[in-house]
Amino acid sequence: MPRYAAGTSVSVDRSIVQIRQLAMRFGADKFAVATGRKTATVAFAYQGRPVRFDLSLPSQDDLSFQVTATGRKRRNSQAPREAWDRACREKWRSLHLLLKALFVAIEDGLLDFDRAFMHDIVMPDGRTVGQQLLPVVQGAIERGEVSAQLLLMNS
């Protein structure tokens, strides 16, 4: 199955603008983007709740950008940059799709905001709820404290 947004021509800048418009249309009252070589961050506030998405970007040094799809030949001088740009565009389009799906689910009453964005709400220490809770959940799973039987308990 092909990856979502594979080969998209929508620029990173255009995706950022669309993500900002989407967040504001659904009620965000603040919005910020920070980009770096390996990560990007999209943050917004919604009814006093700070939300942050940290997006891992592909490394320009990744070997897959240096060689052809078969891995047998090195790409020409401009091709690695073009392949990296394409991979970045795909990541940003995927983030746009995720946010749009979450906002539509809220709008349609499938989820409330806190449930949709729980993992990404920023706590006072600067970490997201997900960053705080995931190690706790993973530890419980590794210790055998979580099992499939727990899924049926609330049925």
Q: Is the pLDDT of residue 153 over 80?
A: no
Tell me what the mean pLDDT of segment 92-110 comes to. Answer: 96
- For the segment 114-122, the average pLDDT, to the nearest whole number, is 97
pLDDT, position 104: 96
Contact between 117 and 32 (Cβ < 8 Å): no
Structure pTM?
A: 0.82
Cβ neighbours around 153 below 10 Å, total: 6
DSSP string, 2-30: PPTTTT----HHHHHHHHHHHHHHTT-SE
Domains of the chain, by residue range, sit at: 12-122, 124-155
pLDDT confidence of residue 140: 85
Q: Which of 7-11, 14-18, 60-64 is most confident?
A: 14-18
Banded model confidence at residue 66, pLDDT cuts 50, 70, 90: low
pLDDT score of 58 more than 90: no
Tokens of 103: 């906002």
Provide the b/e sequence for 87-121 (b: ≥16 CB within 10 Å): bbbbbbbbbbeebeebbeebeeeebebeebbbebb
